[in-house]
Amino acid sequence: MIIDTTGVHAINSFSILESLKEIYGAIWMLVPILILILGITIGVLVIVWLEREISAGIQQRIGPEYAGPLGILQALADGTKLLFKENLLPSRGDRSLFSVGPSIAVISIILSYSVIPFSYQLILVDLSNGVFLWIAISSIAPIGLLMSGYGSNNKYSFLGGLRAAAQSISYEIPLTLSVLSISLRAISNSLSTVDIVEAQSKYGLWGWNLWRQPIGFLVFIISSLAECERLPFDLPEAEEELVAGYQTEYSGIKFGLFYVASYLNLLVSSLFVTILYLGGWNLSIPYISVPDLFGINARDGVFETTIGIFITLVKTFLLLFISITTRWTLPRLRMDQLLNLGWKFLLPISLGNLLLTTSSQLLSL
């Protein structure tokens, strides 16, 4: 029996080539995810630095200045310190819930970034119900906080977890009703984040949903602040009442994960406000083309993507500045005031806004 060695070598070379193509394809699929995670990490570090600088300016303090130029490495230094601190576990608590809780809070928020379009060509997954996916995934984070509070075997922690769950339920309903008002046919007829941004690009600045849905915009801003547990809505971790709430028993990197989750949630909420109400990546100046201003070909995808990312981040960090300023300006609410605001004020207003939007849509038919 004579074996054709040339054919065997050709088959082996072909199989090796196909294997290399599959490996290359798998690696190339991971590149956008890694870039997104790197961008999120840098964004969180910038937010921490901005919060310290803005709070120092409001309180007439110096702020961070030694860790790197202008103190920009202070957040990185704090993270490194927490990474090497001892990780303590409560002796009588549920160790599995205690350990898993912070991870659930962080992972559920990171998954929300998959449906955020930073520009027309820069989005991980464009889903037809992307906004509702964010709302559904963000609902998992309070479960992690509740698990952390229960697993700590501490009354302060357990009360903090219960407050986090109650606060999330109270403010998710008005937030969802505000999103429904945007998704109606009269406005964008879609829950895709890309479609919502494109629907606002027709009339430039005047096409923003901010002007079409001013009531929904205010309800969304207040509800998103409550979802992020930012002052004046930081009842789950109020130090005067609960020491530190659900994170009382935590130390080391697990303690740091709660702060990472808080800033991740704040960033993703500001991004969604930008996408839903402020036109997203569009410059929003009618009859003016950005490439024409710079004398660059409009087909240059790299330039268009870069400008889109820049515009999205400028709008987002403007909203972050407002959120940070609010934290150092307004006093904390009581728990009954927080629930009354959600159930007796924001819920009827958001429902009335939805009915008003639906009525105007029916009358326009």
Q: How far apart are CA 181 and CA 358, in angstroms?
A: 8
What pLDDT is attached to residue 33?
76
Predicted TM-score (pTM) of the model is 0.85
User: What rounded mean pLDDT belongs to the chain?
Assistant: 81
Least confident range of 82-86, 120-124, 357-361: 120-124
Q: How far apart are CA 31 and CA 49, in angstroms?
A: 27
- One domain for residues 323 and 238: yes
Q: For residues 294 and 142, is the Cβ–Cβ distance under 8 A?
A: no
- One domain for residues 79 and 102: no
| Residue 9 belongs to some domain of the structure | no
Q: How far apart are CA 20 and CA 16, in angstroms?
A: 6
What pLDDT is attached to residue 218?
93
User: Looking at residues 150-164, what average pLDDT do you find?
Assistant: 86
- One domain for residues 80 and 225: no
Domain boundary residue among 31, 57, 84?
A: 84
pLDDT bracket for residue 80 (50, 70, 90): confident
Nearest CA to 268 out of 199, 333, 323 is that of 323
| Residue 4 belongs to some domain of the structure | no
Q: How far apart are CA 111 and CA 16, in angstroms?
A: 35
SS3 label, residue 234: coil
User: Looking at residues 32-53, what average pLDDT do you find?
Assistant: 85
Between the ranges 93-97, 110-114, 173-177, where is the mean pLDDT highest? Answer: 173-177
- One domain for residues 77 and 151: no
pLDDT greater at residue 290 or residue 237: 237
Q: What is the pLDDT of residues 133-144, one digit of tens each?
A: 888 888 888 888
SS3 label, residue 122: strand
- One domain for residues 145 and 282: yes
State which residues form the domain around 64: 22-84
| Residue 7 belongs to some domain of the structure | no
pLDDT greater at residue 190 or residue 214: 214
| Residue 130 belongs to some domain of the structure | yes
Crossing angle of helices 155-183 and 214-227, rounded to 10°: 160
Could you tell me the two tokens for 263?
């800033």
- One domain for residues 33 and 123: no
Determine the length of the chain: 365
What pLDDT is attached to residue 348?
93
- One domain for residues 231 and 205: yes
